[in-house]
Amino acid sequence: MHEELLTIGRFARLCRLSVKQLRHYDEIGLLAPVRVDPATGYRYYAADQARDALTIALLRELDLPLAVIGETLTTAEPHVRAKILRSERDRLAARIRRDQGRLRMLTRVAEGLPSYEVTLAQEPGRHLTVVRATCAAADVGKAVGECVGRLMGVLGAAGLLRQGHLVR
């Protein structure tokens, strides 16, 4: 005896997903139907796929990216799955902290825009020495060291260094 398959529409209603979502999940390999009719292209799902579909719906409601959901579903080890979900929890907590800071600032601004006293002043002219370099991200530390060395050489040649310290 074979298991009754559900049409995509019926499966979508049972799992509280849209047909469009199920098609997308199939396209990205997140939740493939157990059968696709080659003549019509109709998708059919098995009842035992409901658990994955409901898990996807829950995790999407929690704003987890589809890639993370896929990783969570395909991980057989419970401790690995827990680690993935803890990482997402930490990401969400950080976002909440940022949003709480924005909320506090918005509350203060709503109570009245801050007033600033602006004073114009004449500053004496300044000379700048600039050293530039382009490098790969992995080489930033080395490039900064080389730039500092070049900068110290230029400042020394200009008589602006005494015993390795900047002369003002």
pLDDT 10s digits, 58-116: 999 999 999 999 999 999 899 999 999 999 999 999 999 999 999 999 998 888 877 78
Residues near 6 by Cβ (< 8 Å), separated by ≥ 6?
14, 44, 45, 46, 47
Q: Residue 157: is its pLDDT beyond 50? A: yes
Residue 7 Ramachandran class (φ > 0 left, ψ -120 to 50 alpha, else beta): beta
pLDDT 10s digits, 116-141: 888 899 988 887 888 888 888 888 88
Q: Residue 135: what pLDDT? A: 87
Strand-strand pairing, 5-7 and 43-46: antiparallel
